[in-house]
Chains A and B, each alone.
Chain A
């Protein structure tokens, strides 16, 4: 989430959901580059779109629409520790309990997560991290070269070409 360059476009609500503000999104798609789960998608205006855990519903004490609407109770919404203990008493394997400091969305599974083709939750964003490390150097480099040019001008100075040079030793 730290990768987003637009202040306030991508944030965590106090309930813990990862939400976004389309008005502030600049469509750079860096969040896609940084996401371990390949979650963000972009609409026709190149603005981010993703599940926000119904941020506006849960902030008003309601459950998420998917959990409410699910006829078999396969999707459950609740306090994180309650959900985990429920899954543990039913002897399920939990995907996302401790991965990446605990995910906002977890799966209770009967077999190993690998069998469900779930991605191994790691930040595989080496390139994106290097990228954000490199970017400030663009501004620094620009300033350094400008300063260097001024320094060169004031010390070595410009190379003037005077018409007299033609007859003198300069040129050919």
Chain B
């Protein structure tokens, strides 16, 4: 048996599933009612356009609440930046070739740090602008701004989410286990996050 080390707590995993599932539901309902002509079939899944709207609004609350709880856990780690992180970024994490190996990384690598920060920044933007669009009765100029911020963040998320899912599943076998069971084999951690293994003294 390989020695396993714990990378995430159950609390973190529950929060991650909560933001992930609500995010996907929000994406499907949001596209469904903005593109009723082209993607109207998406509303069939959620039970009609008005149901899609309600699910989108309330799902947004779940998303925003889970995100705020989660960022307390994940923000500090993603704000740490070292020389190895810059090197990692310079070679795009070695993902453009099979031969290249990036310098040793901490608990999360440079790419994951940037992704986390983008998820947090644009997640807060999309959540807050969404709540304001829902609750603001009528104030024209700010309504424009909220819609615009909501669209920009939705665009960023549309790029981030599939990238994140791919990187954490097919592109890096073994990573998805961090979201389901939370532990990783020691040999895996030594290869992917050597600085973190040293830090917690698991060697």
The answer on a CB contact under 8 Å between A130 and B95 is: no
A131 to B154, CA, bound (A): 11
Cβ-closest chain B residue relative to A136: B35
From A138, A146, A165, give the contact of B155 (CB < 8 A).
A138
The answer on a CB contact under 8 Å between A27 and B190 is: no
- Given A139-B158, A166-B190, A159 contacting B140 (CB threshold 8 A): no
Residues in chain B near residue A30, CB distance under 8 A: 147
The answer on a CB contact under 8 Å between A127 and B35 is: no
The answer on a CB contact under 8 Å between B172 and A158 is: yes
Listed stretches A32-40, A60-68, A80-88, A107-115; interface member? A32-40
Listed stretches A12-20, A92-100, A149-157; interface member? A149-157
Interface bits B128-152 vs A (CB < 8 Å: 1, else 0) = 0000011011101001110110011
Residues in chain B near residue A153, CB distance under 8 A: 166, 170-171
A5 to chain B, nearest CB (A): 5
A172 to B202, CA, bound (A): 13
A26 to B171, CA, bound (A): 39
Cβ-closest chain A residue relative to B102: A159
A122 to B2, CA, bound (A): 69
A53 to B125, CA, bound (A): 39
In order of increasing CB-CB distance, the 8 nearest A-B pairs are A149-B166, A127-B144, A142-B158, A171-B191, A145-B162, A166-B187, A33-B144, A138-B158
B113 an interface residue at 8 Å Cβ cutoff?
no
For this complex, 26 residue pairs linking A to B, each with C-beta atoms less than 8 Å apart, are: A6-B49, A7-B36, A26-B53, A28-B33, A28-B133, A29-B133, A29-B143, A33-B140, A41-B137, A42-B137, A131-B151, A135-B151, A137-B155, A138-B31, A139-B39, A139-B158, A141-B158, A145-B163, A149-B170, A152-B95, A157-B98, A158-B170, A158-B172, A159-B173, A165-B191, A170-B101
- Given A33-B144, A152-B95, A166-B187, A138 contacting B154 (CB threshold 8 A): yes
From B33, B96, B155, B188, give the contact of A134 (CB < 8 A).
B155
Cβ-closest chain A residue relative to B50: A26
The answer on a CB contact under 8 Å between B95 and A142 is: no
The answer on a CB contact under 8 Å between A145 and B138 is: no
Residues in chain B near residue A134, CB distance under 8 A: 148, 151-152, 155
A48 to chain B, nearest CB (A): 11
A138 to B32, CA, bound (A): 13
B3 to chain A, nearest CB (A): 10
Cβ-closest chain B residue relative to A153: B170
Q: Which residues of B contact A (CB under 8 A)?
A: 2, 31, 33-37, 39, 49-50, 53, 94-98, 101, 104, 133-134, 136-138, 140, 143-145, 147-148, 151-152, 154-155, 158-159, 161-163, 166, 170-174, 185, 187-188, 190-192, 194
Cβ-closest chain B residue relative to A145: B162
Residues in chain A near residue B31, CB distance under 8 A: 138-139
The answer on a CB contact under 8 Å between A152 and B171 is: yes
Residues in chain A near residue B192, CB distance under 8 A: 161
Cβ-closest chain B residue relative to A142: B158
Cβ-closest chain A residue relative to B135: A46
A57 to B151, CA, bound (A): 39
A69 to chain B, nearest CB (A): 26
A130 to B152, CA, bound (A): 10
Residues in chain A near residue B174, CB distance under 8 A: 161
A161 to chain B, nearest CB (A): 5
From B148, B159, B171, B194, give the contact of A159 (CB < 8 A).
B171
